[in-house]
Structure 1
Amino acid sequence: MNITKKETFLGWAAAIAVAIIWGVTGVVSKPLSMAVDPMTLVFFRYVTAVIGLTIVYSFTSRSESLSKDLGKSLKIEKKDYLRIALCGIVGQGVFSLFNFLSLSHIGATENGVIQGMQPFATVFFGMMFMNFRMNKVQWGAFIASAVCIYAMSVGPTNSIEGGTPLLGYVYVTCSMLALAWTAHLRASLADKYGSVVSMLYQYISVAALGIVMVFVLDLDLSQINIILSSPLLIGLLIFLGTGISGGSYLVQLYSFKRIGVEKATMALNLMPLVGYLVAVMTLGEEMVLGKTIVVSLIVVALYVFTKFETKETDKKALKSQEA
């Protein structure tokens, strides 16, 4: 299929849009996490996500071209129930809980940078459990990014009243690792059932556990009134639950179709930079030269890491075809 210049441009625009949507997760979560306690906010988020993704599925399942990639049937094999629940509870619930907790101690900038380390952590877990290997260039990119992260952690941090920066870094690191640990399993489920269907069931598992937690921990659901009393918080929750956790998949699929998976994935390396800039513009977080340089270097390191990985994958695929 021939792709026109206009379609290529729109494909790149969609890929960058996804990077922006996912990159502002910390910024969107910040006001919500300051208004509602983290555990209750997790429950609100995934109830909203279930509603949002159900609406998305109702549209995508009617389209033959979309349902092929996003899922056309809600039927799930029994042997995958536990795997879906694990991805939902750990990869979504634990991820969100620790992410919200971190925002009480560090700024959205620091949060976004650590979350942007997903590619490194995902490969590390792949090395531990799936015999993946990092080459010298990837190791170099990883070490460079680790040095940058250390520089950011010991440098000027956006101060949060009553917060402990070190604890915030621990929380967001746990959040990032929870998502990275389930990355390969989530990918296999998405390949089998479609990304929207597999994610919908993951969100349902978190929401179902959330209902249990409501009674076990006696969560104060009346806090929803705090959100409902503010148009801004309502908009942020809807965007968090349906935009970030739902509609972004359709935008990403569009970019895959127009410019390819590899190029579209490359655009996600902009996430730390996007989060940093948006946090400065919307939350009034501090912009300093040192931090700007560090964030930029991390984006470059992520680009080198994923770019070289793509080249290596292409070479291996070519060799296998020749064999």
Structure 2
Amino acid sequence: MNRRTLAIFAAIGATTIYGINHTVAKGVMPDYVKPFGFIILRVIGAAILFWLVSPLGPKERIEKRDYLRMLLCALLGMGFNMLAFFKGLALSTPINSAVLITLTPIIVLSLSAIFIKEKVTRTKVTGIFIGLIGALGLIIFGAENRLDAPNIPLGNILIVMNAVFYGSYLIVAKILIDKYHPFTFMKWLFTLGILICLPFGLGEFQEIRWTELPFEAIWKIAFVVIGTTFFTYLFNIFALTQLRASTLSAFVYVQPLIGILYAVAVGEDQLTTVKILGATLVMLGVYLSSKRPRPGPS
């Protein structure tokens, strides 16, 4: 099996974990762990794991000229991205989260067109517009009366912001990922992430009542720290060594399907007309925006 095929499997694995995570993480917040406290658990846990496995990779030092880009990656991929997503998920629903996260390919395409001058066709522009209409529909009309989702519109906005930050991270990180081993890159990224997130989440982290956590909360926390943080970032970093950022971001299409099926199967969310229509528009927009143009006649 060649490295590109392995990269595709890694991307599928990361997307599957992410799809399940929308419901698993929601099941812990805010009763056992508040959103920003959860982020501290994620970055500390993942940093420890990546430092433990780093001896398996080559000994590398980050060059001084890459410090600023590494810090920017940490801000986008560890700080702003996680803070927006977990706060948004705490305020919204698993299905809304799974659907809105599919805006990432549209955002990557838009940012690629702006910063690296990637060509954007009329079909892609149409897809971007349709996808944004679907997202706005979920934000404006997706309000429900749920005790575990106190402010769905604001939560949806934060989830969209998370997609913007993550899409930006994929573009910025590509250069460093091509240069450094994944273990080297991730151990320093999560170490910086601790410093970035600590001021926001230290108070909520200290509120966690460890001795009162039931087994259900413990395994869900472990899933988020080990699966959704360590393995997904590792899988995505490996995938980026073989795939373009825009190609990798396209695997997010699978998230709504997995996220919706899992959320409904375990009884943590339910489908509504607004969610179905919004999801349909978002998925159509993502499909059109990522569709490759047909080659012209030679």
TM-score range, shorter chain: 0.7 to 0.9
Residue 230 of structure 1 corresponds to: 214
- For residue 137 of structure 1, report the CA deviation from its aligned partner: 1.4
For 1:181 and 1:254, the matched residues in 2 are separated by: 18
TM-score, normalized by length of structure 2?
0.81
1:113 aligned onto 2:99: yes
Residue 21 of structure 2 corresponds to: 25
For 2:234 and 2:281, the matched residues in 1 are separated by: 30
For 1:15 and 1:254, the matched residues in 2 are separated by: 9
Decide which of 47, 50, 56 is 2:47's aligned counterpart: 50
TM-score, normalized by length of structure 1?
0.76
- For residue 107 of structure 1, report the CA deviation from its aligned partner: 0.5
On the 8 A contact 1:15/1:267 being kept in 2, the answer is: yes
User: CA-to-partner distance for each residue in 1:100-158, whole Å, 9 max, x for gaps?
Assistant: 21123210111222222111112222233222331111112212222222333344445
1:301 aligned onto 2:285: yes
Decide which of 260, 283, 288 is 2:272's aligned counterpart: 288
**SS across alignment from 1:33:** coil
After superposition, the Cα gap between the structure-2 partners of 1:207 and 1:252, relative to the gap in structure 1 and judged at 3 Å, is closer
- Percent identical among aligned pairs is 20
Unpaired runs of 5+ residues, structure 1, are 62-71
For 1:46 and 1:289, the matched residues in 2 are separated by: 37
After superposition, the Cα gap between the structure-2 partners of 1:52 and 1:246, relative to the gap in structure 1 and judged at 3 Å, is same
The structure with the largest alpha-carbon Rg is 1
**SS across alignment from 1:85:** helix
After superposition, the Cα gap between the structure-2 partners of 1:121 and 1:197, relative to the gap in structure 1 and judged at 3 Å, is same
**SS across alignment from 1:111:** helix
Residue 184 of structure 2 corresponds to: 197
After superposition, the Cα gap between the structure-2 partners of 1:289 and 1:14, relative to the gap in structure 1 and judged at 3 Å, is farther
**Worse-superposed segment, 111-120 or 17-26:** 17-26
User: CA-to-partner distance for each residue in 1:27-70, whole Å, 9 max, x for gaps?
Assistant: 232123313233222211100111233344444x2xxxxxxxxx
Residue 69 of structure 1 corresponds to: none
After superposition, the Cα gap between the structure-2 partners of 1:250 and 1:177, relative to the gap in structure 1 and judged at 3 Å, is closer
Residue 193 of structure 2 corresponds to: 206
**Worse-superposed segment, 153-162 or 193-202:** 153-162
- For residue 96 of structure 1, report the CA deviation from its aligned partner: 1.0
- For residue 2 of structure 1, report the CA deviation from its aligned partner: 8.4
For 1:190 and 1:139, the matched residues in 2 are separated by: 29
Decide which of 241, 247, 252 is 2:225's aligned counterpart: 241
For 1:183 and 1:11, the matched residues in 2 are separated by: 15
User: CA-to-partner distance for each residue in 1:214-264, whole Å, 9 max, x for gaps?
Assistant: 8xx86254434348722222222222222122223565688899xx74787
After superposition, the Cα gap between the structure-2 partners of 1:168 and 1:248, relative to the gap in structure 1 and judged at 3 Å, is closer
Alignment of 1:99-248 (within 5 A): 99-161=85-147, 163-211=150-198, 213=199, 219-226=203-210, 229-248=213-232
For 1:278 and 1:230, the matched residues in 2 are separated by: 22
After superposition, the Cα gap between the structure-2 partners of 1:182 and 1:155, relative to the gap in structure 1 and judged at 3 Å, is same
After superposition, the Cα gap between the structure-2 partners of 1:183 and 1:227, relative to the gap in structure 1 and judged at 3 Å, is farther
User: CA-to-partner distance for each residue in 1:244-293, whole Å, 9 max, x for gaps?
Assistant: 22223565688899xx7478765432112222222222352111355335
**Match for 2:226: what amino acid?**
T
